[in-house]
Amino acid sequence: MRIGELAERAGTTTRTLRYYESRGLLPARRAGNGYRTYDEGDLRLIEQIRTLQDFGFDLEETRPFVDCLRAGHPAGDACPASLAVYRRKLGELDALIDQLKAVRAEVGAQLTRAELEASADLPGGPEPRCELNRDAS
C-alpha cells in the first residue's frame, strides 16, 4: 500500500508517517517508481506506536515495542526491552499519582480554610478579625 492509504487506515497523516520514518520507526521501502510502499506489518507498527502514545508514552519509548514487532513477535510487548519500558512508565505514573494526591490534599485544605473564612464574613457570623478594630476598642 502507499503512504496515503497507510495514513488513512492508521488514522494519522502522511506527515506523521514520514516523521516516524525519519526517526527509524517505520521502514523506508520504495517501489520501482519511487513511491513509499507499506504492508500490514507496517500498519501494526503504527497502531502500536499510536496506542502507546495515547497512553502517554513519548515517541522514543515506543522504539522497543516497534523493534519487538519487527523481530517477528506477535505483540510489541513480548520482549524484555518492552517490559522494561512498561516498568519504568509505571514508576513514573505512580510518582505522578502521588504528586497529584499531595496537590489534591493541599487544595482541599485551602478550600476548607477559605470556606471557614468566608462563613465568618456572613451576617450573623463572628466578627471579622481585624487588628485595627482590636486597638480601637
d(CA 80, CA 103): 35
Confidence of residue 106 (pLDDT cuts 50, 70, 90): very high
Q: What is the pLDDT of residues 29-41, one digit of tens each?
A: 888 898 889 999 9
Q: Name the pTM for this structure.
A: 0.73
Pick the CATH number of 3-136 from 3.30.870.10, 1.10.645.10, 3.40.50.1950, 1.10.1660.10: 1.10.1660.10
Q: What b-and-e string marks burial along 9-29, b requiring 16 or more CB atoms within 10 Å of the CB?
A: ebebeeebbeebbeeebbeee
pLDDT at 131: 57
Domain positions in the chain:
3-136
Instruction: Give the residue among 33, 35, 49, 42 at the shortest CA–CA distance from 9.
Output: 42
Confidence of residue 128 (pLDDT cuts 50, 70, 90): low
Instruction: Give the residue among 75, 74, 76 at the shortest CA–CA distance from 62.
Output: 76
**Sign of the torsion formed by the C-alpha atoms of 66, 67, 70 and 74:** negative
pLDDT at 104: 96
